[in-house]
Amino acid sequence: MKICRTIKEVKKEISRWKAAGETIGLVPTMGWLHEGHLSLIRNAKKGSDKVVVSIFVNPMQFGPGEDYDSYPRDLDRDAKLCKKKGVDLIFAPDVEEMYPEGFCSYVDMTALTGELCGKTRPIHFRGVQTVVNKLFNIVTPDNAYFGEKDAQQLAVIKRMVKDLNMNVKIMPCPIIREEDGLAKSSRNSYLSPEERRLAPIIHKALDMGRDMIKNGERDSGKVIKAISDMILSVGITRIDYVSIVDALSLKPVDRIEKDILCACAVYMGDSARLIDNFSLEI
């Protein structure tokens, strides 16, 4: 397994593979890998001849006061995990490599990013789109693997690829959870033992909301209130949002009549903001 720190090195390796007719799968990550990332890698191994994992904590997608500085980083640890899983190449650039002096081009969109996480993280998706675009241009993958855990990100990337006729197939991968239901996340490492004990309520509450809808409830407000009440009942005090949105437009719906995404973000303690969701076909 190669670890490349520069774009030039990656491009060299990619052109050798392409010349040999090999397909390439890309798994973009910010590192501190866990089972969620490893499941993306497993899917990539199944669907592509060569697997590239990018590890880059992208400053452009963090807002002021967010956890860019404290985000966990350990390339040696991540490299060991990737090697074990049969990854062919890690691309781990530094910030200057990705955004050299004078950098001033961005990719953005005028829909899909105004609700859910986009409301409290107004510059986040512009940063995500820009870095993913750069990664696609550098790695030129046939397939790129994204987790359904970041449902809004997945919708944004799919839309960007469609709108801009990008030559890559987006492969969604299911949410991987801890045994108690908590969605795996690099940010779970921020949780104190007490917060970790409470955190599975997020998934439990979403499951309860899903059951309400399956049992015929069509009033979004009632489902959102039930989910929020359940999360607050254990002593969690800060919910960023619980929303039910149209699965395609990501616009909030009052009545649940078409396919929906129900998503939430919850603050735990000073530093952790956890997200989770479910989608439902109606």
Query: Contact positions toward ligand AMP, by CB under 6 A?
Result: 29-30, 36-37, 39-40, 146-147, 149-150, 173, 175-176, 183-186
211 Cβ contact list (under 8 Å, min separation 6): none
Report in angstroms how near the CB of residue 222 gets to ligand AMP at its nearest: 28
Q: Which of 34, 37, 124, 203 is catalytic?
A: 37
Report in angstroms how near the CB of residue 27 gets to ligand AMP at its nearest: 7
> What SS3 string covers 140-209?
CCCEEEEECCCHHHHHHHHHHHHHCCCCCEEEEECCCECCCCCECCHHHHHCCHHHHHHCCHHHHHHHHH
> How far apart are alpha carbons 15 and 214 in whole angstroms?
49
Residue nearest to ligand AMP (CB): 147
Of 37 and 50, CB closest to ligand AMP: 37
Could you tell me which of 69, 68, 94, 84 has the C-alpha nearest to residue 33?
84
Torsion of CA 109, 122, 67, 10, to 10 degrees: 10
Of 30 and 223, CB closest to ligand AMP: 30
Of 15 and 271, CB closest to ligand AMP: 271
Residues 180-183: contacts with CB within 8 Å, 24+ apart? 181/207, 182/274, 183/36, 183/149, 183/274, 183/275, 183/276
- Alpha carbons within 13 A on the beta-carbon side of 161: 20
> How far apart are alpha carbons 71 and 66 in whole angstroms?
9
Report in angstroms how near the CB of residue 60 gets to ligand AMP at its nearest: 13
**Total residues belonging to the chain:** 282
Of 199 and 223, CB closest to ligand AMP: 199
Report in angstroms how near the CB of residue 102 gets to ligand AMP at its nearest: 26
Report in angstroms how near the CB of residue 74 gets to ligand AMP at its nearest: 13
Q: Are 68 and 58 in contact (CB under 8 A)?
A: no
34 assigned to active site: no
Could you tell me which of 194, 174, 150, 187 has the C-alpha nearest to residue 34?
187
Of 37 and 134, CB closest to ligand AMP: 37
Report in angstroms how near the CB of residue 221 gets to ligand AMP at its nearest: 28
Of 186 and 220, CB closest to ligand AMP: 186
> How far apart are alpha carbons 76 and 79 in whole angstroms?
5
Active site members: 37
